[in-house]
Amino acid sequence: MTLMMSGLDCHRAPLDQRQRLAFSQSLAEEFLRWLHAQPGVEGCVLLSTCNRTELYINGSAETPWRLLCRGAGIPEREMESYFTTRCGMDAARHLMEVSCGLHSQILGEDQIITQVRKAMELAQEVKTADPTLSALFRGAVTAGKRARTEVSVSRGNPSMGSRCRDVLNRELGTLEGKRILVIGNGQMGRLAAQLLQQAGASVSVTLRTYRHGETVVPSGCRTVNYEDRVTALENMDALVSATTSPHYTLTAEQLRQVQNPPRVAVDLAVPRDIDPACADIILCYDTDSLGSAGPGSPEELEAMGAIAAQELERFAQWQKRQKIAKKAPKFPLFVDLTGKKVVLVGGGTIASRRIATLRLFGCEIEVIAPELKCSPEGLCWKRRKYAPGDLKGAYLAIAATSSREVNHQVCLDAGELGIPVSVADCEGECTFYFPAICTGENLIAGVVSGGKDHHRTARAAQAIRRTLEELE
């Protein structure tokens, strides 16, 4: 398998082209599911921000940018020149540097850390992040956090929000007492509103709905119903818009209805929130025209680069360990489980499948889980969380919870006791693979695929079962 990435960003593609490949969360979920079903795609993660869209793939698929265009319904020939493609450790190095803020418009921009983390979490939620991409993105988040805490950037807390504040301060002469409307109460909108209010501006923030205890409004800011945003623009000094809306939050036609419109508007959204035609009426900035805060000092660049290199080396070492773990296949040893104790930690769908299989072999099944999806009949069910000592006396151990931490602890405890263990979410921690079972008259076969390609395993098991049936 090969790690690959293709991406376009603010340094190579103008905003008009970047916004064609900007994904909302719902669109990103749909795209990732579609992509994961494509031939050769073992894992995929999509990083989509105001400044970049990057697709990371692990597998043997075709070039990521082609899949990205195809999934977005955009002709490949129109976008090819804007993409950069990297493979292997070059792709991994790039993500480490991106997360450190080395490729942002503003050096050390701290929002990119959150964006990288959320990209990983979304892929894990829709089950498209394989172990390699999960490890890579975890390392990138760590690199970003280290860069944020270990490197002192001379411009304070760098972000698009702070750049917006600085530009408005320059255009208005001062922010003290200036009236500013911020459309959008997401992460970027709240940050911009907070920074402007702290600089002395009188800030109003739009809300679509207000739920007490759920909606967070920056301290000191007023609120305006989103539907009243055009009316609220009257006598404002400036407008900032930062939503994820697929439509304009302000059109030129709406702006012409305002008798005393703002002097300047800043659009922090991609795709754009503010109709470009508004630039014929008032001064408008978008994420590109805001510009950068400078390239950074040689010391800052060197320190961030060193952090990215260190986390890249850790990822490389992780990959080496995985290759060693996968060097030899598991030997298919058939054992008698009659009367022997098998401890299974977990009670969800995967655990229930394991239990159904184990019931065939006469073993004593002890299940440790707060909840259980299958019938507890015939089981010793300890209705609680896993605790140290729970593997005592076990012949086999199986970890099949939704918690990586718990599964890993079961692996460690089994290793200390010398008990064979199967870990559902990490093949590298398995000392045996739990097989798909195929039975016939006085015949039994088990099928595994190195803990990875479960669909292929299922197809093979079906074929073997048909063969065994024909032999009866």
pLDDT tens for each residue of 203-260 = 999 988 655 445 678 888 999 999 999 999 999 999 999 988 888 999 999 999 999 9
Q: Which two tokens stand for residue 186?
A: 């997401």
What does the alpha-carbon distance between residue 50 and residue 58 come to, in Å, rounded to a whole number? 24
**216 or 269: which leads in pLDDT:** 269
Stated pTM of the model = 0.58
pLDDT at 380: 96
Q: Which two tokens stand for residue 78?
A: 């129109």
pLDDT at 106: 66
What does the alpha-carbon distance between residue 435 and residue 346 come to, in Å, rounded to a whole number? 18
Is 50 catalytic? The answer is yes
CB atoms within 10 A of CB 23: 21
pLDDT at 188: 83
pLDDT at 1: 65
CB under 8 A, 24+ apart: contacts of 233-237: 233/181, 233/258, 233/261, 233/262, 234/258, 234/259, 234/260, 234/261, 235/179, 235/260, 236/179, 236/180, 236/181, 236/261, 236/262, 237/172, 237/178, 237/179, 237/180, 237/262, 237/263, 237/264
Phi, psi of 360 (to 5 degrees): -75, -15
Q: Are strands 341-345 and 52-59 parallel, antiparallel or unpaired?
A: unpaired
The pLDDT of residue 155 is above 50: no
Q: Using one digit for the tens of pLDDT, what is the confidence trace for 291-348?
A: 654 556 778 888 999 999 999 999 999 988 887 666 667 778 889 999 999 999 999 9
Nearest to 254 by CA among 280, 235, 289, 230: 230
Are the beta carbons of 418 and 428 closer than 8 angstroms?
A: no
What does the alpha-carbon distance between residue 457 and residue 430 come to, in Å, rounded to a whole number? 17
pLDDT at 361: 93
Nearest to 241 by CA among 269, 275, 276: 269
Catalytic pick among 50, 69, 164, 411:
50
Enter the DSSP assignment of 434: P
